[in-house]
């Protein structure tokens, strides 16, 4: 008697990476990719059409929405849907934030394929999963008393959080607007709101703060 396979949905704006994950997952006897999306709107359209995966794998950086926002929207439709984040970002704060908005695991794209497959299985069992480098970073933060050591950061919205990271990576407002598919006016509003929330006096202070935050591997 053939055992039914776990249905995996992929959400990532890089088609080649989705293809690679699909090949990897479809080789396994207990799971298969049954749907994929390149952005948040496409992902939500699939779910709203009644297609229900057993688990969703997604990046936190998508063209039209932050992955953090998408996790919240997914759970507003399907509260129990397990989400595993697969991202280039290796900062512990990204993992913490993903877990806070409802993700059940966080794996870096640089990890070997067997780590991703193991993470899928663990999350499907109802367990939390963090890749080893992320676990190490979180444990060091806790040991050093740095967990939640940036209370002001926690006041940022998911989009503001992503904009802060992009500022720290050296992107201009126009570049950020293009990357996130938002107007430059929206990005400038985010920058202003972040300055208020982070108690920074001007735009230069925001750039310095963001650059320091990124360079410290948050």
- At 149 the pLDDT is 45
162/117 same-domain check: no
Residue 7: other Cβ atoms inside 10 A: 16
Q: Among all chains, which residue has been given the structure tokens 């080893």?
A: 132
CA distance 2 to 51: 22
Residue 1 lies inside a defined structural domain of this protein: no
Q: Is pLDDT at 104 greater than 90 in this prediction?
A: yes
Q: What DSSP designation does 153 have? A: G
CATH assignment at residue 196: 1.10.10.10
* Better pLDDT: 131 or 74: 74
89/116 same-domain check: yes
Using the 3D structure, point to which of 117, 142, 167 is the last residue of a domain.
142
What percent of the chain stands above pLDDT 70? 85
Q: Is pLDDT at 210 greater than 60 in this prediction?
A: yes
33/129 same-domain check: yes
CATH assignment at residue 108: 3.40.50.2300
Q: Among all chains, which residue has been given the structure tokens 């297609």?
A: 51
Tokens standing for residue 64: 């039209």
Host domain of residue 176: 153-215
- At 141 the pLDDT is 62
Q: What DSSP designation does 61 have? A: B
Each residue of 17-70: pLDDT tens digit? 999 999 999 999 999 999 999 988 899 999 999 889 999 999 887 766 678 888
Residue 190 lies inside a defined structural domain of this protein: yes
CB 140 within 8 A of CB 115: no
Virtual torsion, Cα 44, 45, 47, 53, nearest 10 deg: -90
Each residue of 138-188: pLDDT tens digit? 676 666 655 544 566 778 887 888 888 888 888 899 998 888 888 999 999
CA distance 208 to 18: 35
128/193 same-domain check: no
Q: How many domains does the chain have?
A: 2
pTM score of the predicted model? 0.73
Alpha-carbon torsion (182, 186, 188, 192), positive or negative? negative
- At 90 the pLDDT is 63
């Amino acid at each position: 008697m053939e055992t039914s396979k776990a249905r995996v949905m992929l959400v990532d704006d890089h088609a080649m990476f989705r293809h690679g994950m699909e090949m990897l997952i479809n080789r396994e006897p207990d799971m298969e990719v049954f749907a994929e999306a390149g952005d948040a709107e496409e992902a939500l359209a699939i779910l709203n059409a009644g297609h229900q995966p057993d688990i969703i794998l997604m990046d936190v950086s998508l063209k039209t929405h932050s992955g953090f926002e998408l996790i919240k929207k997914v759970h507003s439709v399907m509260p129990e849907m397990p989400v595993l984040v697969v991202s280039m970002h290796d900062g512990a704060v990204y993992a913490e934030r993903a877990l806070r908005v409802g993700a059940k695991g966080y794996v870096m794209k640089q990890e070997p394929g067997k780590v991703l497959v193991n993470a899928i299985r663990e999350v499907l069992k109802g367990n939390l999963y963090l890749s080893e480098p992320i676990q190490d970073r979180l444990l060091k933060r806790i040991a050093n008393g740095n967990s939640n050591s940036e209370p002001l950061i926690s006041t940022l919205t998911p989009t503001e959080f992503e904009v802060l990271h992009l500022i720290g990576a050296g992107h201009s407002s126009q570049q950020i607007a293009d990357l996130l598919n938002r107007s430059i006016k929206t990005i400038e509003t985010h920058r202003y709101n972040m300055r208020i929330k982070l108690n920074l006096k001007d735009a230069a202070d925001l750039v310095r703060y963001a650059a320091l935050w990124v360079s410290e591997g948050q």
